[in-house]
Amino acid sequence: MKGLRWTGPRRVLVRAGVLLAALGLLAVGCAGGPGSSTVSVNIGYQSKTINTINAGTLLRDRGTFEAKLAALSKTTGVKYQVQWLDFPSGPPLTAQMIADKVDIGSMGDYPILVNGSKTSEYPDSKSQLVAITGYNLRGSLNQVVVPPSSPAHTLSDLRGKVISTSLGSAAHGMVANAVSRSGMSLSDVQLLNQDPPVGASALENNQVAALAQFVPWPQLMVFRNQGRLIYDGGANNVPTFHAVVARQSYAQAHPQVMQAFLESVRDTSDYINQHPLAAAQRVGQITGIEPEVTYLYNGPNGLVTFDPTIKQPLVDAMTTDLPFLKDLGSVKKLDLGQFLNDSYLRDVYGPGYDAARANLANPDTLRGTDPVCHLPVENPRTASEVWFAGQDTTSVAATPTCALQQIAAHAGPVRVTYVPDTTTGTRLFASAATWVLDPNAPPQSRLLPFALDTDATSYLTNHPQARQIDYRTALTAA
């Protein structure tokens, strides 16, 4: 070896011992390598991102993955060590994946494309997108909120103002697209790069004019009466999603681990869809995010559809998103054909994968019979839901008007009520909606909720007999 000199038998033995010890340490450090008796699995996740709870927070809490690895260990004789690493956003997770300290991770659509581009420069760290966690086909997981007392009601009202966002995130792409649609250019506003919690604090303290962020931050601010929605990313009509990436070298070396992980993601997704209220309550206990907020996203007809399959509209959205990231300088090059790999999912789903991939229906929808209006609850554009205080179940309603009538007929307090936006069908908090009373509408559809003031104004323009009212007045009218 270069740098070693002959110094006699004793020195050679000493150096040989040091070399053997170093090789021993190297063997321990490569515990995740092929043929090792112990395989390490380092999983990166974002605990407070509701859209990834089936690959992170809830998956970890339920211990499903560890249980599958324990069963696998009995067959292979290999021990598996799982380490969960919590990140505030996608970029630091990507940095740790490049450092080979994260094997499997989950993050949003824009950061995941950046992840694919940046890791492609390092053979051992090169990643592939192997599954979706959750998605919204309209893009309503990204939204813009302002302080409740703000005079702004549209993005145009933010001209010359500071908007907090996470640069390179899907929220950044959303607000850039939205600003353009409003007739402005990005130079007409000031974008401030902040992590979501920092931006939320800045909004609360009136240090910024608006917050443009991804799930769950906008609606978390709305629920806490710290923000008012002025723009829904669904208006851009570009799907948004979160997904799972894995280091290609790791996945190829440990396909059984990948299968166990993705089986666990699928199992957790099924649990969320079958037990959404219990899932929301548990996530609230773990993260401190109010379960009412989580349930807005993961509940029936919620803003998120939890489904691991890599659907074509999401692939198309990635193709649409890439030019923005390239112009931003965040992505140099990325071959989506090589980056996307659903082979592990196909092993999990078997011959049913293609049918599952083609299915765009939300598996978790509101169903039942309205106890007050005595109507079937089936239309997602009108179906509503009331969560009464002190109850571990919710009550379904055929329309928003019927939901308010249920509240009027109930003796106790209400924890939260969910209604669909009249224009888009997007689920929102009834207490945060702009309400319109239309006396010419059918009796059970006279109270109409809108997520945005501008949409309510448009309705009033086309229905001169209608009038705008606040939530309390709507309850009285019910």
Instruction: Check whether residue 16 and residue 115 sit in a common domain.
Output: no
Query: For the chain, what percent of residues have pLDDT higher than 70?
Result: 92
Residue 6 has pLDDT above 90, yes or no: no
Instruction: Check whether residue 268 and residue 378 sit in a common domain.
Output: no
Instruction: Check whether residue 106 and residue 153 sit in a common domain.
Output: no
Q: What is the CATH number of the domain that holds 434?
A: 3.30.450.410
Q: Could you report the per-residue pLDDT of 37-94, keeping only the tens digit for each?
A: 899 999 999 999 999 999 999 999 999 999 999 999 999 999 999 999 999 888 899 9
Q: What is the CATH number of the domain that holds 338?
A: 3.40.190.10
Residue 29 has pLDDT above 50, yes or no: no
Residue 355 has pLDDT above 80, yes or no: yes
Antiparallel, parallel or unpaired: β 38-45 and 79-86: parallel
Q: Could you report the per-residue pLDDT of 461-474, keeping only the tens digit for each?
A: 999 999 999 999 99
When pLDDT is averaged across residues 240-262 and rounded to a whole number, the result is 97
When pLDDT is averaged across residues 353-359 and rounded to a whole number, the result is 98
Q: Could you report the per-residue pLDDT of 132-175, keeping only the tens digit for each?
A: 999 999 999 999 999 999 999 999 999 999 999 998 888 999 99
301: left (phi > 0), else alpha (psi -120 to 50), else beta? left
Residue 460, domain member (yes or no): yes
Residue 363, domain member (yes or no): no
Residue 9 has pLDDT above 60, yes or no: no
Instruction: Check whether residue 249 and residue 373 sit in a common domain.
Output: no
Helix (H) or strand (E) holding 247: strand 240-247
> Residue 283: its pLDDT value, please?
97
When pLDDT is averaged across residues 239-268 and rounded to a whole number, the result is 97
When pLDDT is averaged across residues 269-297 and rounded to a whole number, the result is 97
When pLDDT is averaged across residues 200-209 and rounded to a whole number, the result is 96
Spatial contact of 90 and 106, defined as CB atoms under 8 Å apart? no
Instruction: Tell me the pTM.
Output: 0.89
Determine the structural domain holding residue 256 and report its residue range. Answer: 38-137+240-358
Residue 277 has pLDDT above 80, yes or no: yes
Q: Could you report the per-residue pLDDT of 388-436, keeping only the tens digit for each?
A: 999 989 999 999 999 999 999 998 899 999 999 999 999 999 999 999 9
Instruction: Check whether residue 132 and residue 161 sit in a common domain.
Output: no
Distance of CA 116 to CAs 8, 265, 399, Å?
A: 52, 21, 44
End residue of a domain, out of 236, 263, 292: 236
Residue 2 has pLDDT above 90, yes or no: no
Instruction: Check whether residue 448 and residue 384 sit in a common domain.
Output: yes
When pLDDT is averaged across residues 3-29 and rounded to a whole number, the result is 33
Spatial contact of 254 and 39, defined as CB atoms under 8 Å apart? yes
CA-wise closest residue to 445 among 437, 454, 453: 437
Residue with tokens 């130079």: 187
Instruction: Check whether residue 108 and residue 232 sit in a common domain.
Output: no
Q: Which residues contact 309 (CB under 8 A, 6 or more apart)?
A: 131, 132, 342, 345, 349, 353, 356, 357
Instruction: Check whether residue 319 and residue 397 sit in a common domain.
Output: no
Q: Which residues contact 156 (CB under 8 A, 6 or more apart)?
A: 182, 183, 184
Instruction: Check whether residue 335 and residue 458 sit in a common domain.
Output: no
Bridge partners, residue 127, by sequence? 247
> Residue 1: its pLDDT value, please?
35
